[in-house]
Structure 1
């Protein structure tokens, strides 16, 4: 035999409020973009102490900077937004020439374009400039 339980209006509204708060917490935690604000003058990296080998990478100010080739030319480096556009996880650079999200497997090329989903939006690409042993990201 089925029975019907009753709930007071106050209890119902209270449960909806908690459920709504939980839903908002989940939705805001799925933010998939991060606003990157570059310092005036850009980000500088001392190439005599960092990014010494092809495949190495660092994070700075929400950007991942990777050495993608030998030599100290601007084309030897790639700089893209650090946060995966799918769910915001920090991507890593793989020596095979791609940025990889360890969370759900999205992949991007060195220009930031999506090469494997679930991400559908490219990473923001930043300009690289080498002057001597100083790399500047802008």
Structure 2
């Protein structure tokens, strides 16, 4: 669900709706949960009934994380981050998180990850962390859902969330 639909469902109409949106409706304002791919190359069903086939051969980079520019990892061209899960201590346990290149990546539930920008929407400070079940700004107390939408008045229009894909060995964060 995008911001426009959400606000309309809350009862905002006409000028009030436009004032709340303040020209910030984008087509990519939807949350796409992470897909987990089977390492054996088998087809699995992801969120919303989508079918995904894991690549049979995957080249995984040696560093724990990198900002790739032209690589094709897990079928994603130009990922923002590539993380090797086995060597990234912060993501080994549910509730853990890491901050890399201004992106907060959290281990939400077993095999499920979420990623958002580290920059808070209340004031542009890089103070967002993962706090058990939500993203949280340590400077202002702004709280954000896993998809980056705001949970309290300090969160405003929310923060940028990223798509996440994993095969259980490598985690890729992309736009």
TM-score where L is the length of structure 1: 0.65
1:110 match: secondary structure:
coil
1:132 and 1:99 mapped to 2: Cα distance? 23
Q: Note the residue ranges of structure 2 that are not aligned, 5 or more in a row.
A: 1-66, 70-77
Give 1:46's aligned residue: 84
Larger Rg belongs to: 1
CA distance in 1, matches of 2:161, 2:105: 10
The equivalent position to 1:130 in structure 2, one of 129, 148, 166, is: 166
How far apart are residue 39 of structure 1 and its match? 4.3
Structure 2 equivalent of residue 93 of structure 1: 130
Which runs of at least 4 in structure 1 moved beyond 4 Å after TM superposition?
Answer: none
What count of residue pairs does the alignment treat as equivalent? 96
Equivalent-residue separation in structure 2 for 1:53 and 1:117 (angstroms): 30
Written as runs of structure 1 = structure 2, the 5 A alignment for 1:12-91 is 39-40=68-69, 41-42=78-79, 43-50=81-88, 51-71=91-111, 76-89=112-125, 90-91=127-128
Cα drift, residue 86 of structure 1: 0.6
Do structure 1's residue 109 and structure 2's residue 145 form an aligned pair?
yes
Tell me the TM-score normalised to structure 2 length. Answer: 0.52
Encode CA deviations 1:30-86: one digit per residue, 9 max, x unaligned: xxxxxxxx6422111111122100111111111110000113xxxx00001111101
Q: Structure 2 CA distance, aligned partners of 1:134 and 1:59?
A: 16
What value does the CA root-mean-square deviation take over the aligned residues? Answer: 1.3
